[in-house]
Amino acid sequence: MRTPLAWLNVTTNLGRMVLNALGIGFAVVLMFTQIGFLYGLFDSAVEVLRLMRADLVILSPARYTVPSEQRFDYGLIDRAKGVPGVSGVIPLYMDRSLAVARVEGHISRSIRVLGVPVQSDPFVDPAMNQRCRELIDPSMALVDRRSKETYGFEKHDLQKLRTQNVELSGKKIKLHDWVSIGTDFVYDGTLIVSEAAVERYFPTRNGRGQALAAVDLGLVQVESGNRIDSIQKALQSRLGGSVQVYTHQELVQREIGFWARNTPIGIIFSIGTIMGMLIGVIICYQILFTDIQDHLPEYATLKAMGYGPGYFLRFVLAQAFYLCMSGFVPGWIVSWFLYRWLSDWTGLVMRLNTDRVLIVGALTLVMSVLSGIFAVRKLWRTDPAALFK
């Protein structure tokens, strides 16, 4: 039975093992944080889309990104409802340029306002739809609980929320309940109101036309048993070039692609992730180099006994792997708590899902291989005879 020297080298001294794990864990947490912010910003940009219940989405071709305010005529909603296979179309209104919220005691701030028909089900979450149906008064609104603290919205006591003095675009508005959406590149907070409230608070959103005649998004539900791509083609043919029709997933991917291509965040956080890995390589290399330096006589003995370069490569790589895994597991756990804290603090959508864990795990594996290769060179260059003089 072979003696697991690499494992024993890592685990024999518990105090040193803990310190080594902390060093590697720091690099792991750094990588998780950078990847978390990268995907968190993308996820946050499309979170409101993911919350919507729609098989297809209609929007103006001039709307290069969802936060832009290019709209289309409501008459196209009625035309879309007549397409065979369409079970319903819900108009959605989005305002920001005219939407300014002010909580008593706080400064006025721009905010996103979503307007929905009260008797519709525009969201995936049934509880969210139920709260929307409660907006029977045009002066009522739902507030995103994850809006930035600077707005001053009450986030814990519902009765206090309902008694807050709040204005929207210079008119009083009553906050009825909470929803959960999150912030993104453009919006620091969100209110959901009824169609009647859109007319009340933003009467000039369509210039001299009727406020509700200009629609931001059309949420299309397809009857069960119909192919979504077929209905998409039929809708596009029926509505013409004045609008574009996307599947729900196509719109989400288009939105992520826009922010990835047109902002430097992808490059910034990707570089940060690589830098985290390089820091881990340096830390792991220093640990391995020190261990090799401390055990040179033992390694020289093995070399004199005939163990070749391949054995030492496998040995050092195994030790590097054990070191990195000893730091990866606690780094993963710390990052889980860190994600939750950052999500609550920033309002961003930060999910530590399987894909992201696998990415950091793969980078940690690369980190162990690189550090092992750099460290083993000292053993390859060692002359056993020189150590016993």
> What pTM did the predictor assign?
0.82
DSSP classification of residue 144: E
Could you tell me which of 84, 63, 139 has the C-alpha nearest to residue 92? 63
Q: Write out pLDDT tens, residues 319-340.
A: 888 888 888 999 999 999 999 9
Band of pLDDT at residue 198, cut at 50, 70 and 90: very high
Q: How far apart are CA 389 and CA 382, in angstroms?
A: 13
377-383: Cβ within 8 A, 24+ apart: 378/289, 378/292, 378/293, 379/292, 379/299, 379/303, 379/312, 379/316, 380/309, 380/312, 382/296, 382/299, 382/300, 382/303
Domain limits of the chain? 5-46+264-387, 61-242
What pLDDT, on a 0 to 100 scale, did the predictor assign at position 384?
60
Cα–Cα distance for residue pair 37/262, rounded to 1 Å: 17
Q: Is residue 114 pLDDT above 80, yes or no?
A: yes
Distances (CA, A) of 132 to 31, 55, 122, 193: 40, 20, 9, 8
Residue 389 has pLDDT above 80, yes or no: no
226-271: pLDDT as tens digits: 999 999 999 999 999 899 999 999 999 999 888 888 778 778 888 8
